[in-house]
Amino acid sequence: MTIRAGVKRFGDRLEALGSSARVQSAAATGERRMTSRTRTFGVAVLALVSLTTSASTAAAECVGFRLDHYKKHADLIFSGAIRELRDLDWRRTLVTFEVDRVWKGNVGKRVVLHQVLSIDSFRFVGTPPGKEYLVFASRLEPAQRALFELTARSDAFSVPICGGGTRALPEVDQDTLRKLGRARNPR
């Protein structure tokens, strides 16, 4: 259903509710008016529809790259389980992984990712410890390193915008793992 059709359908339902929606008939002009309470309710619903559509549109824009694109642009590719999520503040989170397999990069048994919250960032928020992921991580940009006070370090990583191919390990099919090539143990 399109947004326009959904809004029209909502308007039709409001009109059908008649008195419970407090639609009043203006006898002098013959037009129909909504009370301020109904108008406020309608605006709130439209705002909610708009926000939901914006969020799903933003998520849809993240989809579509092929595995070879993610492999090429990632500095690290590994699988592992989340051991700790630590929020530094409302915008910065440290995600510690216990690594079991490595496909790309110099990866130890534990990796800490520095995640910055934004509208299109990959989020591990609320993920229970132990959940396993296939992770495609990239080096932090200078501005991100400064945000984490890591300006002297070039070996800090994060999952890029929209995940960069990162997903829960149970969602990864065998064909994807085969295309990644032979995995090795962490160093």
For residue 75, what is the domain's CATH number? 2.40.50
Quick one: 21 and 109 in the same domain? no
Question: Based on the domain organization, do 73 and 12 belong to the same domain?
Answer: no
Q: Output the tens digit of pLDDT for each of the chain's 187 residues.
A: 444 444 444 455 445 444 433 334 444 444 445 455 555 545 444 444 333 333 333 333 566 689 999 999 999 999 999 999 999 998 999 999 999 999 999 999 999 999 988 766 777 877 889 999 999 999 999 999 999 999 888 889 999 888 889 999 999 999 999 999 999 999 9
CA dist., res. 72 & res. 159, Å (int): 14
The pTM score is: 0.66
Residue 85 lies in a domain: yes
Cβ-contact 132, 173 below 8 angstroms? no
- Which of 83, 82, 150 minimizes the C-alpha distance to 116? 150
The domain tally of the chain equals 2
Q: Concatenated DSSP letters for 118-168?
A: -TT----TTPPTT-EEEEEEEEPPHHHHHHTT-TT-S--EEPPGGGTT-EE
Q: Are residues 44 and 19 in the same domain?
A: yes
Domain enclosing residue 86, as ranges: 67-180
Q: Do 42 and 86 share a domain, yes or no?
A: no
